[in-house]
Structure 1
Amino acid sequence: LDRIDQENFPLDLKYIYPDSAGAGVDVFVVDSGIFLEHEEFQGRQGKTIVEKTFCNNPADDNGHGTNVASLVGGKTLGVASNANIIGVKITGNDCPLTSQNIINGITYVMQQKANDPGRKIVLNLSATSTDSAVGDAASKAVEAGIHFVVGAGNRNLDACGFFPGKVETVVTVTASKITTNQQDWITDWCNWGKCVTLFAPGENVPVAGIGNPSEIKLESGTSLSAPHVSGAIALMLANGDFTPEQSKAELLRIASKDKIQGLKYRPTANVLLRVPSP
């Protein structure tokens, strides 16, 4: 959080964000569910719910969705701490991730938008697929006015090989890290390339865990970079009306430029998330 509210080092050890903090924006976390009892989700202005599950067990049994949700809007860990966090469970221990379940999750969010076209909706997805049908679903969601954010993937491959990250209208996020000497680098393991929209922190990120209601642990992955961006879009939408095309352009406009090192052999847009200032 401290990295994304200022352009340059040294870090000021603070995170400053617009007062509205994402109020009135619905961020759908299409993932493994959410551990609702975690302290990060207590006493927030926004609601935290798991609204739909495509698995037998609605609880977050592997922790991933909880990690992600805490970065979107957790009380202390979240980018947009007043946003509504709405879980849609598409995978879990009893429920392997399939392209069909990804599509089911996207379709569910589209139905919510169709039911109430005025809703400000951000869809945060961690999963990637080689199935182009996932890309088609994402493309339709953006056409319907949903702000769609996806992690680029963690295989050190060209992100253009995966859906929905390949879709031009979605926001595809890959992972930066902060080195001990306070520099931003591309992580060794993240996907890269021309299909990436921007970087956000994704290595050793503090997140809410499912071990107990106060557990906070360090995790890594582009699926932790993405919710930083979803939160940033929620901050924007709380303060104005943007189409998905406009929110993507605004992210790029306010982002920190040319801060990331290590891109020589993994050519990627040198753009690092920065949240809107108060």
Structure 2
Amino acid sequence: MHLRALRPTCLALAAVGLLVAPTAAAADLQDLERKKGPKAPTQTAAPYATDLTHKQWDMAEIGSPLANSVATGAGVTVAVIDTGIDVDHNEFAGRIVNPVSWVCPKGVKAPCQGMSYVDDGHGHGTHVAGTVAAAADGSGITGVAPQANIMPLRVGDDDGSISGDTTAAMRYAVAEGADVITMSIGYVAGTGPILDNPVLPVDEFSAAVQEASDAGILVTLSAGNDGVPWCGQGSEFYNDTALCVAAYGPTEDPAVYTDWGYEIDIAAPGGGILTCDGAIWATVPLSLETDSCTGIDGYGVMSGTSMAAPHVAGVGALLAQQGITGATAAQRIVDTARTDLPLTTAFTGPRLDAAAAVGAG
């Protein structure tokens, strides 16, 4: 799949309102909302149904409950390159593998390996991981691939800035046998000294993603939240296993913030920005202040293409359980996606259909 040239300036987490230089503090994500009511989730049988199922319009939209009747991601590992993960969250119990951070305490040489080093003090990485693989345990939320393992590779600080070696994290995921890699990190154009940003050299990052492709690993990258007509999160190459993911909201219209255009490979739920129910509900660190939208410790709302990409990664995990990986998985995801809304498809590509991808509907 095709990816646009990387802007080697400053890095950012690609959630709405979170575009920061490597040393800048990120603004707090506020109550991100939608304009119209989402579709009511279809009735599902236990153990998928939870106390928050009715908030997960995104999972109903992509047919995740039906897909889980066929595959759950068991035995599959998804690498999440982000701000880490809440290692104590019950939604990931027993399924965190090979945790490594390139953001290490003073005096500790990077990379540093171990649960304590990847513990997420920001929330972005935990939210992404929850969309991928929160457990189907009868409470909280359920991810697209609720039995998949998560390999948390931390490159982001607690303030949301990116200071870790993203290229090294990508290569680590390949070396350690990840089946899918997802990265919801954005690249923002700029001027001056940041053009020499040492955190993510274009050629090295391009090579790392190509290595993942060569290893048959599906890679999902968030398109970006600049509303521009191209995939803003790519690099100067094309390959068959990297998908550029745009976002749409609960009304199935392209999200107002999403990058769009012919370079987008697929669209997935990223959330609206006008009401709490229209955002994406997922996991956040238990240590954070209770989200005013959810009112529940450990769960919060965010919106952005950052939230769209992990939906696709989750479907990649379901396919990997079925023995479908790499370029074949990427093509399957695109070929089975929905095209019934021509205008949406024209702007942001076909819409993800988890059930169709795994042959469940």
Contact 1:205-1:218 within 8 A present in 2 as well: yes
> Superposition RMSD on alpha carbons, in Å?
2.5
* 2:26 alignment counterpart: none
Q: How many angstroms apart in 2 are the aligned matches of 1:161 and 1:225? A: 14
Letter matched to residue 108 of structure 1: Y
Aligned with 2:281 (options 206, 216, 237): 206
Instruction: Please give the TM-score of this superposition, normalised by the length of structure 2.
Output: 0.64
- Does residue 25 (structure 1) correspond to residue 76 (structure 2)? The answer is yes
Hey, what's the Cα distance between the residues in 1 that align with 2:304 and 2:233? Answer: 16
Residue identity in the other structure for 2:261: G
Given the alignment of the two structures, is residue 101 of structure 1 paired with residue 165 of structure 2, yes or no?
A: yes
Distance 1:261 1:207, change over 3 A: farther
CA contact (8 A) 2:80 2:181 kept: yes
- Indicate which of 139, 163, 180 corresponds to 1:122: 180
Q: How does 1:118-267 map to 2 (within 5 A)?
A: 121-129=179-187, 132-133=202-203, 134-164=205-235, 167-169=238-240, 170-179=242-251, 184-203=252-271, 204-212=279-287, 214-240=297-323, 242-259=324-341, 261=343, 267=347
1:105 counterpart SS class:
helix
| Structure number with higher relative contact order (C-alpha < 8 Å, ≥ 6 residues apart) | 2
Deviation sequence 1:4-63 (CA, Å, 0-9, x none): 018xxxxxxx65523440011110001110002123223xxx612461100025221111
Deviates more, 1:53-62 or 1:124-133: 124-133
Question: Could you report, residue by residue, the CA deviation over 1:231-272 in whole angstroms, capped at 9, with x for unpaired residues?
Answer: 1011111112x34111011111221113364577xx442x00
Alpha-carbon deviations, 1:184-206, whole Å to 9, x = none?
Answer: 10000011122211000001000
Contact kept, 8 Å, 1:29 with 1:124, in 2: the verdict is yes
- Structure 2 contact 224–305 (Cα < 8 Å) conserved: yes
Is contact 2:81–2:155 with CA below 8 Å preserved after alignment?
yes
C-alpha distance 38-194 of structure 1, shift in aligned 2 (>3 A)? same
Unmatched 5+ residue regions in structure 2? 1-58, 106-116, 136-140, 189-200, 272-278, 288-295
Does 1:4 pair with 2:74?
no
| 8 A contact 1:32–1:60 mirrored in 2 | yes
Q: Which has the higher strand share?
A: 1
User: What is the distance in 2 between the residues matched to 1:225 and 1:95?
Assistant: 18
Distance in 1 (CA, whole Å) between partners of 2:130 and 2:211 is 27
Per the TM alignment, residue 214 of structure 1 is displaced from its structure 2 partner at its CA by: 4.0
Q: Which residue of 2 aligns with 1:117?
A: none
Q: Is the 8 Å Cα contact of residues 128 and 306 (structure 2) preserved in structure 1? A: yes
Does the residue aligned with 2:258 lie in a helix, a strand or coil?
A: coil
Instruction: Please say if 1:48 is aligned against 2:130.
Output: no
Q: 1:160 to 1:220 in 2, by over 3 A?
A: closer
Counterpart residue number, 1:272: 351
Q: Which residue of 2 aligns with 1:81?
A: 146
Corresponding residue SS for 1:162: coil
- Residue equivalent to 2:11: none
When normalised by structure 1's length, the TM-score is 0.82
Percent identity, aligned pairs only, is 26
Q: Secondary structure at the match of 2:319?
A: helix
Q: CA deviation at 1:166?
A: 6.5
Given that 2:155 and 2:162 are in contact with CA atoms closer than 8 Å, whether structure 1 keeps it comes out as yes
Letter in 2 for 1:156: G
Distance in 2 (CA, whole Å) between partners of 1:254 and 1:17 is 16
Match of 1:70 among 130, 153, 168: 130
Moved more, 254-263 or 68-77: 254-263
1:263–1:81 distance in 2 versus 1, CA, 3 Å? closer
More displaced 10-residue stretch of structure 1: 87-96 or 157-166 = 157-166
Cα shift readout 1:133-177 (whole Å, capped 9, x = no counterpart) = 223321221112211111111111233443249744311111011
Q: Which has the larger radius of gyration?
A: 2
Q: Does the aligned pair in 1 maintain the 2:316–2:325 contact within 8 Å? A: no
Alpha-carbon distance, 1:77 to partner: 2.6
May I ask how many residue pairs the two structures share in their alignment?
253
Which residue matches 1:9? Answer: none
Judged with a 3 Å threshold, the aligned counterparts in structure 2 of structure 1 residues 161 and 178 are, in CA distance, closer, same or farther, namely closer
Decide whether the 8 Å contact of 2:130 with 2:282 is kept in 1: yes
